[in-house]
Chain A
Amino acid sequence: MMETVWFCIWGLLWAVYFMLDGFDLGIGVLQPFLARNEKERKSVYLAMGPFWDGNEVWLVAAGGVTFAAFPVLYAVMFSSFYSALMLILFALILRAVSIELGEEVRGAVWKTVWRGCLSVSSLLPAFVFGVVFANIFRGIPIDGEGIYYGTLWTLLSPYGLVGGLLFLLLFLLHGSLWLAVKVEGPLQGRSARSASRIWPVLLVTAAAFLILSAFQTDLYTIYLKRPVLLAIPLIAAAALFMTRVWMARGAWPRAWGASCVSIFFIVMFGVAGLYPALLPSSLGATFSLTVHAAASSPMTLKIMLGVVLVFIPIIILYQGWVYRFFGGKVDEEIYAKH
């Protein structure tokens, strides 16, 4: 029971991380193409400046909770995905430096260099996280000792690549929508157009991912057993659909909200399909890492449950306050730094 509760919290934290950091990763990729002059670049920076750091902490929390609640999963997952996670780390580090230092440098050449760095270093985590999670859903070659028999290239199967593309497109749409919420003028027009172009490609990719999942993974087993869970992919699909409806009406905040819901439920679709495994083995079901085998002691799970039940609501409250505090269109005057 406790392990199942923790399984839900585990999936939830990763889903929230992708939902939040997703938009600033998407903006990071798109910014050199969307912003055409210094003023627009400033607006793009201000649209993500107050939020990206707080969003990224959800990754630390998701990692930390994986470690605390499922130490064996933490060990096996992180060492199996060694090269992929290192790539993500390098990119995230470079990204943070690009955001902050790129904003401070003068000189057109340096600005271009940092913007290029920001684009690449935002693209990598988006894509590689998709590849990693697709491989988690599909299962990886691990034995009973949790030793991984594969390389970085093993992960880049067609299913893995579609997963990477799916995450990337989700985040690109998410980022375009956030910009459309936050900025004005021609830049907003370009962001809106970017969103409209991405949406159909995303729809096709998401459909391909769902269909491929039926052949490549065991995700659907649990949905066939408990059809009520089908609500999860249905909500994801509905949210994706509503995103387009609200985009057409120019209701950007709602479209962005729907995009949040779609990211959250697409991730949860995969996670729920794993249960009771956390990391399936492609070498045989007996080697799959299950919630029971990977979990911490009952005492640790109890302590940690107390911790997340107290702190996660508090975090949601104050981060929500920050989103409201910096709500509305960005304004260079009011956001004056220093």
Chain B
Amino acid sequence: MNATTFLVVEDSPTMRQLLAFSLRRLKDCRIIEAVDGVDALKKLTTERVDLVITDINMPMMDGLKLIAVIRANARTKTLPIIIVTTEGAEEDRKRGLELGANAYIPKPIHPSELLKTVASLLEHVRS
């Protein structure tokens, strides 16, 4: 069975490391890191990705634009996306979900909550 590949899109090295550290507790997983939306799109063209975890506020291209581009592309339009952000306002959550994100986790994150959400989305995709 192929390893599950996660694309972690986050400009903060601390947060990237924490997300990667948390995800590595899952069996057979591979983590690709991107520092912003543009970097993430580059990685999406060259790598097979199973799930994207993205921040909203990032330089170059923010998370909301990244989600819109992913959903507009035929190859990636069904890719599960989780937003992890400091933006806790209801309208930000709504906007992210309207653009096509599958889940929304406000910071500071609890690794167990992240893993539950990831497992649930992957199960949904595979069923």
Q: Are the chains A and B members of one assembly? A: no
List B residues at the A interface (Cβ < 8 Å). Answer: none
